Structure 1
Amino acid sequence: MLVFFGVGSLVLAGDYINAVGISFAFGFTLIVVAFAFGRISGCHINPAVTLGMLLARRMDIRAAIEYWVAQLVGGIVGAALLFLLAKQVPRLVTDDAFGSNGYGGRSPVGIGGGGAFLAEVLLTLLLVFIYLTVTGKVTMVAAEPVPVGLALTAVNLVGIPLTWTSVNPARSLGPALFAGGGALSQLWLFLVAPMIGGVLAAGLHMLTHPGHPVAEEEREQVTGPRPHMPWGRRLGGRRPGAGRPEAGGPEPGGPETKPPEAA
């Protein structure tokens, strides 16, 4: 959905809505999709966001790999549907274009590879940092989709004149496969730089938000329930209140120390 509507706004309507309209198309799409699916998966739709979540210890490596596969496949499918639609528009050029990212001669302002790399790292850092800060866990609830959508709008307003804004390897991969040419030769930058931005965002978040709470039910949703020991105790210690009769816990000696009449 992000590729079809976001990149689609650039490919099909860019001459009519310009960079501001394209930026809002990306941001609004993320907001509405996050409201629809945020409670289910968190609506990362971005490998860099998932990497940030992984490094912030909110999900395990197996879940992250599953997210990455789904995101890349989704980006390719979205681009394929958009390509099919674009081919129905007379005189619309898709070769070496098609909403793909680029630098040098493929950048609106001609920014070089080094500048494009730096821009993508910094813009992705902002986006992933906002994800990590406003969510506090894997999924998104309540009004959390709004700030992440606004963050995506902001980074597109800055990034579109520079590189057509990636900040998302899945967003870059799909269009580049159908654009071909220079889009494929420059694709590496838009796969690597956003992931580095995600790593930096996770480090910055851990520095500025130490001990950021993660709900137990969210942790169990991603990593599975924690194993329980007999009598409701967890591995590594007793349950809260254990050994204090006034708190409702068992006697310190355990159930085997109860008097015979209690048994």
Structure 2
Amino acid sequence: MALKGKNITIILCIITVFLYSLLKYGYNGRDLYTYRDYSESLDNYIDRYPDYESSAITAHKQGWPSFYKDWSTYWHVKEDQLQQDIERMDSFITKDLYTKGLPYTTTAKGRETVFAGVFKSLWEWDEPYLGNIAEAFLWFKEKNNLTDRQMALLVINYVQNIPYEIPERPFGLASPIEVLTRNYGDCDSKSLLAFVILSRLGYECVIYTSFFYKHAMLGINLPSTGYYKTWKMTNYYFVEMTTPGWDIGEISKQTQDLDLWDIINLQATY
């Protein structure tokens, strides 16, 4: 009996050490590379946009928890890019949307057309300037031997941890550049940011919108469990982006009627 008790104690000690190692060093048994160096990140940005001196570039440091570790990186942007982004969006909404009466449509297809137009324009405008943040996640993936799913979760956790606040903008929607620069956004603004980053990294994504729930979420094509909708034989799992802690396929009980959700597939040709 004493020998059996001693064996149990040894086994419990081994399990304790393993769990401590998992929490401290990560799932691969060693320290994770969780900090993206400022100078390396800036050099990468200048390589992409050589016409701009470093003095004309603003750095924004972002940190977030994921895989039981704290991660951080820098996002760089031209100082005048945010204002250009806001002016372009205001002009687009005023000239192209309100003049056509699209915000007043009541049909599902009409709403899809409205938001698809807005989301797609913001995606096309901002995507070239998000290359340095996407490159940071590729750097994290390479340094830490992350799987495609783990890198997707790292991006999702990153955006989920951006504070939730409704922008004082038309449709309550902020562009990806505005969300990153101001460090806040609401459901559709953060879903769009995650969509742009993940799309640049090669993932198949959609945006879910619900007029009934007055809410938006990300959809991603990754093997998962939980809630999803199918678009042309591809399953896109819901991802709640408003706050941290939501896993892929997990949504609140108050929003689980999937018939009330529209799929906006910006990666498709409308």
Q: Normalised by the size of structure 2, how large is the TM-score? A: 0.32
Structure ranking higher in strand proportion = 2
- Structure number with larger C-alpha Rg: 1
Structure ranking higher in helix proportion = 1
Greater RCO (CA < 8 Å, at least 6 residues apart): 1
